[in-house]
Amino acid sequence: MKRTKVKIQIQSPGTSTDGSIVAISESLVRKWKIPPHQPLQLRLGSFRQEVRVVAFGSPGTMRLSGALASRMGLTTGHQLCLQYKATSKALVLGPLIGVMVSRVYAGAPDKPFGANTAFCRELTDACKVYGAAVFFSTPDDLIAQGDSVRGWHYAGGWRKASFPLPHVLYNRLTSRKLENRPSVQQFIAHARSKQNTLLFNEKYLNKSEVFDALRQEAGLQQYLPESYLLKSFQQLKSMCAKYPTVFLKPVTGSLGKGIIRIRKEGGGYACHFANLNGARKLSYPTLSALYSALAGKIKTQRYQIQQGLNLLTVGGRPVDFRAVVQRCETGQWKVTSIVARIAGNHHFVSNIARGGTLSSVKSALARSGTPAAAGGLSKLRRASLRIAKGIEARVQGHFAELGVDLALDASGHVWLIEVNSKPSKEDNTPLSTENKIRPSVRQLVQYSRFAAKF
């Protein structure tokens, strides 16, 4: 895709207060064959205005009036891709990326998005590198009318402004309740119909839906532990007769919350409940007694019942692997990173939120001290890529970034644990203290640029 990156400058007052004159570097005017002094349409997302272009000397630069820049949500320092479309006589800037975030902390001007503020700055920096603009909106900002939306951007500090409807809307809402709020869904529908906005990561994934979908995809059954939506005591009895350990996982859970491990123990059964401090254990003389004790939970929350796996361990602690799989600058799926997550002491889930620690895959496999780990990294890469393509083929909605959680068992077989459509930006690699932009953040912007046709 032919593109040019331009630096935005704000013209001094009095040059063109109505915004009808736009100054563009003489070299860019020649390169794109932009006709000077003729009416052209300037576009950014849903923004449209007729302008006339004058050429000037400063290379790689576009000058806008303060009034025009304000209506576009732009400030001096923004760097965007520019295209001239001769057939429609349009000067097109972009891509503009809107990020849906859950909340803003009004009393914390330096950290308005809490723990996600550093990621938002990192994404802003990546946009500058690749010629894009980004803003961040909460559900309260999203109103399904007109051609603009309120949001926050970084311009020497976090500031609130008005922006056009974006080319790409990136869903980082951290709860299904917020995601399914009628006003949010109405705004998404409005942006799609008005601007043809692409929704980047449609929705949270449901564990049961994912496993049912992937079972239909040829070649993926090998990665799927036996797993069903729990509907009856008979199912529990059958799975416990078949496997020494089974797991009950909330179908809409995340971060390891609410997972229950059931094991045969002596003449009865032990139930381990995952919590922040480790695992709480309760014992039951019979499976029917255990099921009766869980009846209240099962009535209020749907659970997936899943075969327990004999995972590789490091120092006696189970280890699993998080692969971040993203669409790249050509729209194809690509494995961006894989890290090992080693469960904390007294935990049976490895999530960082539950006391797990991160390790490189190479180190974790070496420390497992088993021949079954041989070739583990290439097997994990192959499986995560195939699973992402399976999600694309079988699950309704547009996804461009997936956290694929995998395990290796004691025989070296790869298993899928779950797929997350909102992988934590702090879970795969720690935020760099050297202000480096992580590959996963770069990939996000590069794909957005591809999706918006820049």
- Tokens for 58, please give them: 């400063």
Task: Please compute the mean of the pLDDT values over residues 221-247 and round it to a whole number.
Answer: 93
351, pLDDT greater than 60: no
16, pLDDT greater than 60: no
Summarised one tens digit per residue, pLDDT across range 267-287 is 899 998 876 666 788 899 999
Q: Does residue 428 sit in helix, strand or coil?
A: coil
Confidence band of 211 (pLDDT split at 50, 70, 90): very high
Judge contact between 122 and 438, C-beta under 8 A. yes
Task: Please compute the mean of the pLDDT values over residues 194-214 and round it to a whole number.
Answer: 91
Burial per residue of 438-447, b for 16 or more beta-carbon CB atoms within 10 angstroms, e otherwise: bebbbbbbbb
Can you give the pLDDT at residue 451? Answer: 95
Torsion sign, CA atoms 55, 12, 131, 451: negative
388, pLDDT greater than 60: yes
Q: Which fold has domain 226-307?
A: Dna Ligase; domain 1 (3.30.1490)
Judge contact between 280 and 273, C-beta under 8 A. yes
DSSP line for 214-237? HHTSTT-GGG--SEEE---HHHHH
Summarised one tens digit per residue, pLDDT across range 401-447 is 999 999 999 899 999 999 999 988 764 454 444 568 999 999 999 99
Task: Please compute the mean of the pLDDT values over residues 365-392 and round it to a whole number.
Answer: 93
Task: Please compute the mean of the pLDDT values over residues 131-152 and round it to a whole number.
Answer: 95
User: Residue type at 15?
Assistant: T
Question: Among 131-140, 277-286, 320-329, where is mean pLDDT lowest?
Answer: 277-286
Task: Please compute the mean of the pLDDT values over residues 94-112 and round it to a whole number.
Answer: 93
Q: Give backbone dihedrals phi and psi of 342, rounded to 5 degrees, phi first.
A: -100, 125
Residue range(s) occupied by CATH 3.30.1490 in the chain: 226-307
Q: How far apart are CA 406 and CA 380, in angstroms?
A: 7
Strand partners, 97: 134, 168
| Inter-helix orientation angle 439-451/117-130, to 10° | 50
Can you give the pLDDT at residue 278? Answer: 60
User: Residue type at 153?
Assistant: H
Burial per residue of 249-283, b for 16 or more beta-carbon CB atoms within 10 angstroms, e otherwise: bbbbbbebbbbbbbbeeeeebbbbbbeeebbeeee
Judge contact between 385 and 208, C-beta under 8 A. no
Who's near 343: CB < 8 A, 6+ residues apart? 317, 318, 319, 349, 350, 354, 355, 356
177, pLDDT greater than 60: yes
- Shortest CA distance to 249 belongs to which of 381, 351, 179? 351
Pick the CATH number of 311-421 from 3.20.20.70, 3.30.470.20, 1.20.1530.20, 1.10.357.10: 3.30.470.20
CATH number of the domain at 4-94, please?
Answer: 2.40.40.20
Q: Which fold has domain 97-200?
A: Rossmann fold (3.40.50)
Judge contact between 6 and 79, C-beta under 8 A. yes
Can you give the pLDDT at residue 434? Answer: 57
Pick the more confident residue, 155 or 277.
155
Residue range(s) occupied by CATH 2.40.40.20 in the chain: 4-94
Confidence band of 90 (pLDDT split at 50, 70, 90): very high
Strand partners, 405: 322, 418
Round the average pLDDT of the chain to a whole number and report it.
Answer: 89
- Tokens for 370, please give them: 């088993």
Can you give the pLDDT at residue 414? Answer: 96
Can you give the pLDDT at residue 30? Answer: 93
Using DSSP bridges, classify how beta strands 4-10 and 47-56 pair: parallel, antiparallel or unpaired: unpaired
Can you give the pLDDT at residue 253? Answer: 67
Can you give the pLDDT at residue 413? Answer: 95
Instruction: For the chain, give the percent of residues with pLDDT over 70.
Output: 91
Residue range(s) occupied by CATH 3.30.470.20 in the chain: 311-421
Q: Where are the beta strands (DSSP E) in 106-215?
A: 133-137, 148-154, 158-164, 168-171, 198-200
Q: How many CB atoms lie within 10 A of CB 118?
A: 16
Q: Tokens 């032990």 appear where?
A: 270
Summarised one tens digit per residue, pLDDT across range 38-57 is 999 999 999 999 999 999 98
Using DSSP bridges, classify how beta strands 21-25 and 61-64 pair: parallel, antiparallel or unpaired: antiparallel
Can you give the pLDDT at residue 190? Answer: 96
* Helical H segments across 160-300, by residue range: 176-179, 182-195, 207-215, 233-242, 287-300
Judge contact between 102 and 184, C-beta under 8 A. no
Pick the more confident residue, 71 or 353.
71
Cα angle vertex 99, ends 96, 209, to 5°? 120
For the whole model, what pTM was predicted? 0.89
306, pLDDT greater than 80: yes
Can you give the pLDDT at residue 275? Answer: 66
Q: How far apart are CA 47 and CA 71, in angstroms?
A: 8
Can you give the pLDDT at residue 120? Answer: 95
Q: How far apart are CA 71 and CA 64, in angstroms?
A: 11
Pick the more confident residue, 98 or 206.
98
Who's near 417: CB < 8 A, 6+ residues apart? 320, 405, 406, 407
322, pLDDT greater than 80: yes
